Amino acid sequence: MATMREKYKTVAVPALKAKFSLGNPLMVPKLTKVVVNMGMGCADKDKLKTVVEDLAAITGQRPVVTKARVSISNFKLREGMSIGAKVTLRQDRMYDFLDRLVNVALPRIRDFRGVASKGFDGRGSYTLGLKEQTIFPEIDPNHSGAVQGMNITIVTTAKTDGEARELLSLLGMPFAS
């Protein structure tokens, strides 16, 4: 069993039940999915290949290539061109990825003081932006071409941002003060 899942069951559930005075354990907020998205910024086949390989190495799951829905002439973008990749993680892979993100990747960021608290959307989901993918130990910085950013969205069943923030902080997410 993943350590993050054990932490959720043994630490987070009783603490959330007590803090929000929830009678039923099924009312306790839980993690639903984690979506990792990497946009390329251009429609280049070679860059797309490296983005897909990096995202697959980071998440342990083959990503889906996203395509442009509309044409934008100022960006030289046509409908149907490949512009990025995304992965939706659930269950065990989600907990494994969050465990590596919180305990390994985030502390490797230079001058890290915590993640911003303003990434909540009002419905219990949290979005975090990273500027480079090389903070993950699976990526070799010498092999990877250009530095590529990514967005990580953590979707919970929490009704409010306060519940979601408490859930994520109990799971070890280092929020800035």
Q: Per the domain annotation, does 176 fall within a domain?
A: no
| Interval 16-45 mean pLDDT | 86
The answer to whether position 155 is within a domain reads yes
Q: Which two structure tokens, joined as six digits, stand for 39?
A: 């946009």
- What tens digit of pLDDT does each residue of 70-104 get? 887 767 777 877 788 899 999 989 999 999 898 88
Q: How many domains does the chain have?
A: 1
Q: Between these two residues, 47 and 129, which has the higher pLDDT value? A: 129
Q: Which residue segment(s) compose the domain that 93 sits in?
A: 3-170
In a domain, 140, yes or no: yes
Kindly report the CATH number assigned to the domain that includes residue 62.
Answer: 3.30.1440.10
Quickly state the pLDDT bin for 1 (edges 50, 70, 90). very low
In a domain, 177, yes or no: no
The predicted model scores a pTM of: 0.85
Asked whether residue 23 carries a pLDDT value surpassing 90, the answer given is no
